[in-house]
């Protein structure tokens, strides 16, 4: 494994008496794409938000590029400039054009001049296939286009790491493909990426590793072929069976043994192309 670009050590996070993360240890190497999967409430998004300290860990350490974000003396704003984040919602300014949405953070945070910020904005709009929308306003864009603008905005800041929190969950199914295509492009370019997702095809074909979380802990961590294609834990198999074939999972719960059948079907995917 290459040097850790993201490192999490014994991470705990509680909200009152609710312990959401219970001792997470995770390393992501430079250029790696790691997809985090798991049921709702498993702690996936909380873990992602702790990586750039949008959530303050209750206990543990987080390092990005060798710098400890959880050090009380760290310049967190300086470290966050190296981390791009894309949320479920697009968070674009509705009163600003697409170009203005990309140039505003560059000028305010990175202190770039108007011309340089405009050039960088144009380059990144081209990367996500939206050059023709530079003068448009968010309300005139589809959800998929808005999310691609949000990705371009993050890229315009020149991040070393990209964090994605269910970036396609708010999109209509027919709009998902264009967003995932941009993420595939970033993976091909060698961007370090941590992706919370329910898109199993993307995880199988693009991720270097897949992490399955449940109950605030990491249950499995391995290649897509291992975790999705041939999971070793019953909790993982149950989650995948419900995700990939809900009808069969319901039969299994009725005692008809369908979960074993689904487990075999998932295991059959191990040798498919793209893994």
For 84-107, write each residue's pLDDT tens digit: 999 988 899 999 999 999 999 999
- Per-residue pLDDT at 256 exceeds 50: no
Q: Please answer whether residues 48 and 83 qualify as being in contact, where contact means their C-beta atoms are separated by less than 8 angstroms.
A: no
What pLDDT does 232 receive?
94
- For the domain with range 1-82+187-249, which CATH number is right: 3.20.20.70, 2.70.150.10, 3.40.50.300, 1.20.200.10? 3.40.50.300
Name the 3-class secondary structure at 211: strand
pLDDT digits (tens, 9 = 90+) for 177-206: 999 999 999 999 999 999 999 999 999 999
- Per-residue pLDDT at 51 exceeds 90: yes
Name the 3-class secondary structure at 87: coil
User: Look-up: residue for tokens 């697409």?
Assistant: 98
What pLDDT does 242 receive?
85
Q: What's the longest Cα–Cα distance across the chain?
A: 66
Residue 43, Cβ neighbours under 10 Å: how many? 23
What pLDDT does 255 receive?
47
Mean pLDDT over residues 16-26, rounded?
96
- Per-residue pLDDT at 252 exceeds 60: no
What pLDDT does 174 receive?
86
- Per-residue pLDDT at 265 exceeds 60: no
Q: What are the extents of the domains in the chain?
A: 1-82+187-249, 85-159
For the ranges 76-80, 109-113, 144-148, 160-164, the lowest mean pLDDT is seen at: 76-80
Residues 182 and 27: their CA atoms lie apart, in Å, by 24
Locate 7 and state its tokens: 């490192």
How is the beta sheet containing 209-214 ordered, strand by strand? 83-86, 161-165, 192-196, 33-37, 209-214, 217-222
What pLDDT does 125 receive?
97
Give the global pTM.
0.86
Mean pLDDT value across the chain? 88
pLDDT digits (tens, 9 = 90+) for 211-250: 999 999 999 999 999 999 999 999 999 999 888 765 544 5
Q: Please answer whether residues 101 and 138 qualify as being in contact, where contact means their C-beta atoms are separated by less than 8 angstroms.
A: yes
Residue 140 DSSP label: G
Q: What confidence category does residue 8 fall into, taking pLDDT thresholds of 50, 70 and 90?
A: very high
Nearest to 195 by CA among 24, 25, 96, 51: 51
What pLDDT does 247 receive?
55
Nearest to 213 by CA among 19, 32, 18, 44: 44
Q: Please answer whether residues 172 and 143 qualify as being in contact, where contact means their C-beta atoms are separated by less than 8 angstroms.
A: yes
Report the percent of the chain where pLDDT is more than 70: 88
What pLDDT does 246 receive?
58
What pLDDT does 2 receive?
56
Residues 6+ apart with CB under 8 A from 59: 10, 11, 12
Residues 122 and 124: their CA atoms lie apart, in Å, by 6
- Per-residue pLDDT at 258 exceeds 50: no
- Per-residue pLDDT at 53 exceeds 50: yes
- Per-residue pLDDT at 172 exceeds 80: yes
């Amino acid at each position: 494994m290459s040097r850790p670009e993201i490192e999490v050590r014994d991470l705990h996070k509680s909200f009152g008496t609710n312990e959401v993360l219970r001792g997470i240890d995770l390393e992501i190497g430079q250029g790696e794409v790691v997809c985090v999967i798991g049921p709702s409430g498993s702690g996936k998004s909380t873990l992602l938000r702790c990586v750039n300290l949008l959530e303050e860990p209750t206990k543990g350490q987080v390092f990005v590029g060798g710098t400890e974000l959880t050090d009380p003396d760290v310049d967190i704003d300086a470290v966050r400039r190296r981390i791009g984040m894309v949320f479920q919602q697009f968070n674009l300014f509705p009163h600003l054009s697409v170009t203005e949405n990309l140039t505003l953070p560059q000028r305010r945070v990175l202190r770039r001049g108007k011309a340089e910020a405009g050039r960088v904005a144009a380059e990144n709009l081209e990367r996500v296939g939206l050059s023709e929308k530079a003068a448009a306003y968010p309300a005139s864009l589809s959800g998929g286009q808005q999310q691609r603008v949000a990705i371009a905005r993050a890229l315009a800041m020149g991040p070393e790491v990209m964090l994605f929190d269910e970036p396609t969950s708010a999109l209509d199914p027919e709009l998902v493909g264009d967003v995932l295509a941009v993420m595939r492009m970033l993976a091909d370019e060698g961007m370090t990426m941590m992706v919370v997702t329910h898109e199993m095809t993307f995880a199988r074909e693009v991720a270097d590793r897949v992490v399955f979380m449940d109950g605030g802990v990491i249950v499995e961590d391995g290649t897509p072929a291992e975790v999705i294609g041939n999971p070793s834990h019953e909790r993982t198999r149950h989650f995948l069976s419900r995700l990939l074939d809900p009808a069969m999972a319901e039969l299994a719960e009725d005692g008809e043994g369908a979960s074993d059948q689904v487990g075999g079907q998932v295991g059959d995917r191990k040798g498919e192309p793209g893994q």
